[in-house]
Amino acid sequence: MWSRAVRRAFLPYLILVLVLHTAAFAQRDSIVLAPVTVVGFAPERFMAGLKIQRIDSATLQQFRFQNISDLLAFHTPLAFKNYGPSQLNTVSFRGTSAQHTAVLWNGLNINQPNLGQTDFSTLPVAGFDRLSVQYGSSASVVGTDAVGGSILLESSSLQPVGLKVLLGRRQGSFGNQQTQAGASYGTHIKETLRLSGKTLYYDGRMNNRYPYAQRQGYFVEPANAEQRGLVQDLTLAGRKGRQLSAHLWFTDNKSTIAPENPDARQLTRTQSRRAMLQYQTNTWTWRTAWTRDLIDFGGGDYQTMEHTGTDRFLTRLEKELEFPLGTSGARLNLRVGGEVAHYRTQVDGYTEPIITENRADLFVLSRWQIIPRWLVSATVRQAFVTRFSPPLTPSLGTEYRLIDQSAYKLTAKGSLGRSYRVPTLNERYWKTLGNPDIRPESGFNKEVGLETTWQPTKEQQIIASLTAYHNRVDDWTYWNPDRNYRVENLQLVIARGLEALMQWQATQAPWKTGATLGYALNRSSQERVYNAYATDEVGKQLVYVPLHQGTLSTYVQRGSSRLTAQVRGVTRSFYTFDNSRYLPGYVLANLLAESTWQRGHWQANVQAQVNNIFDILYLNVKRNAMPGRSFSLNLLLIYNSESK
């Protein structure tokens, strides 16, 4: 219903774009991205010593028709547990499980409460405007689940004055396609009051009509998916930093396995409704939010569907204080606040028809700029959960500029922090297998690193980082086969590793070129003997966590045309706890060519993409073959009332 209404609302804009799209476009000298003001997720400022990787806007633009896992796989060392095209895709962050990554949308944790994780195949890149990846434990800053790391998604705040309308279309191999339509707008209501917003509707159909049923003897599982969503942001900005904003993100995803087989097919439909209202001044921030997560699962004729529905209501209040210290420029920033949330869930397989619980958090975040080259942050959080006692969660981080020259800078950083994970609703309330007495997981993360920036010439810049980490997670939950898969706090997992990242950029008009090279070593193992069979598992690499990963992204650009190559390589990953069986390693390569033309108020961007260019065979966690080489063509048309 709501999708039809959105289509009708956009119809005048779409007709205007389609009528004028045949106009001749004059090519400009560079790719211009319209400026967008984003109010940063404030706690990032209190994460001194932690590694934070910000994905640039050009990369987000390249992946706007794909989901977030496609982007992160080629630009970060995250490992993904992919069940197949158009199916569940979860993340392993620094050797932890899918439940150990916090996914935050405008500061709100959007992990599905019953499962405690996010299906990354259902998060399109078009759904947000800014993406940051925060490595290591940050539970004292963002709360539960942030054991291995956090994914920070942010919406736009103030849009440029004027009207910008866009229409996008992606047509790919195997009958896959996606359409996007939207607008951003901004105006001054009066001299001291500004209104802006963004509206986007997307509709994707992954039909996956493969011309083969097998690849080199491995089965290619038939599956298709539909993905629709609506994003709405509105901001009213006044004087003295006062700002009122509203954000909506509605999603509807259907995934069907074996759709042509009435006896074997399975349908999973996940729907999310996310709404947030936020008011902020220079020192105060208040936000209230509501989310509804729905999951329906069934097979065969779909007459009997298993239903899961969870509502969450949340209110958060924060106050920031700043204290100048002496005359040397030192200052101390404090952010204190609290959060309360109410959960209401209805699941067919739970011990009670409707279960409710309350949660609360109190936190203090501090940032101490001792001298211009030395920064320290100390944070502490205490969570409260109905019938549970999560641990007090402190952290301490520091950054010190060892070398501070105009052309060369070197910074040392380090961090210590506790983490915790509140057990999922499934782990506590599932009939027979759930455990109401299960304890929250508790972790302790340590990491040190170096970051450097070097500008050898005016035309070149090199940025590099090296990070070593050690993360111990105790009371790791385990669905114990010796107890008929009843969940228990049995495992002790230690993840340790090394991450390296280097970026190089050069400009020699009219040419631009750059490359990003990443490498990760991740040793993650179970270290506690909890039964006779666990002896064979102690010290072994966790399942679906490759020991080595590497990524390379390089581009060359002339004027408004760019050619990009992306490479991802992983070593084998085990799928048995004793490491006796494994999925082979592989190297994937993609190639993208794009160009932008502009004339007057109109801009067109065309992108051609080849995925798996060498037609490599690699397997998903079901040990089925993933698709071979595929192609796609993207067209994005933009009308901007302010361009000339």
Tell me the percentage of the chain whose pLDDT exceeds 90: 82
Structure tokens at 43: 């706690």
How many domains does the chain contain in total? 1
Domain that holds residue 68: 2-640
Q: Is the pLDDT of residue 17 over 50?
A: no
Q: Model-level pTM?
A: 0.91
The CATH number of the domain holding residue 339 is 2.40.170.20
Buried b (16+ CB within 10 A) or exposed e, 348-385: eebeeeebebebebebbbbbbbbeeeebbbbbbbbbeb
Tell me the percentage of the chain whose pLDDT exceeds 70: 93
Beta bridge partners, 539, equal: none
Q: Is the pLDDT of residue 324 over 60?
A: yes
Where residue 28 falls among pLDDT bands split at 50, 70, 90?
very low
Q: What is the pLDDT of residues 452-466, one digit of tens each?
A: 999 999 999 999 999
Q: Which of 58-62, 201-205, 477-481, 490-494 has the lowest mean pLDDT?
A: 477-481
Mean pLDDT, rounded, for 216-222: 95
Round the CA-based radius of gyration of the chain to a whole number and report it. 25
Kindly list the distances between the CA atom of residue 234 and the CA atoms of 188, 196, 278, 410, in Å, as whole numbers in the listed order: 14, 6, 10, 40
Residue 608, C-beta contacts closer than 8 angstroms, at least 6 positions apart: 592, 593, 594, 631, 632, 633, 634
Residue 423, C-beta contacts closer than 8 angstroms, at least 6 positions apart: 116, 388, 438, 439, 440, 441, 477, 487
pLDDT for the residue numbered 537:
86
618 three-class SS: coil
Q: What is the pLDDT of residues 574-626, one digit of tens each?
A: 999 899 999 999 999 999 999 999 999 999 999 999 999 999 999 999 999 99
pLDDT for the residue numbered 42:
67
Mean pLDDT, rounded, for 551-580: 96
Q: Is the pLDDT of residue 4 over 60?
A: no
pLDDT for the residue numbered 452:
97
pLDDT for the residue numbered 240:
82
Q: Is the pLDDT of residue 19 over 70?
A: no
Q: Is the pLDDT of residue 1 over 50?
A: no
Where residue 91 falls among pLDDT bands split at 50, 70, 90?
very high
Mean pLDDT, rounded, for 296-312: 92
Mean pLDDT, rounded, for 282-298: 95
Structure tokens at 471: 């993360």
Buried b (16+ CB within 10 A) or exposed e, 585-613: ebebbbebebbbbbeebbbbbebebbbbb
Q: Which of 199-208, 317-326, 372-381 has the lowest mean pLDDT?
A: 317-326
Give the total residue count for the chain: 644
Q: Is the pLDDT of residue 10 over 70?
A: no
Nearest Cα to Cα of residue 42 among 149, 152, 120: 152
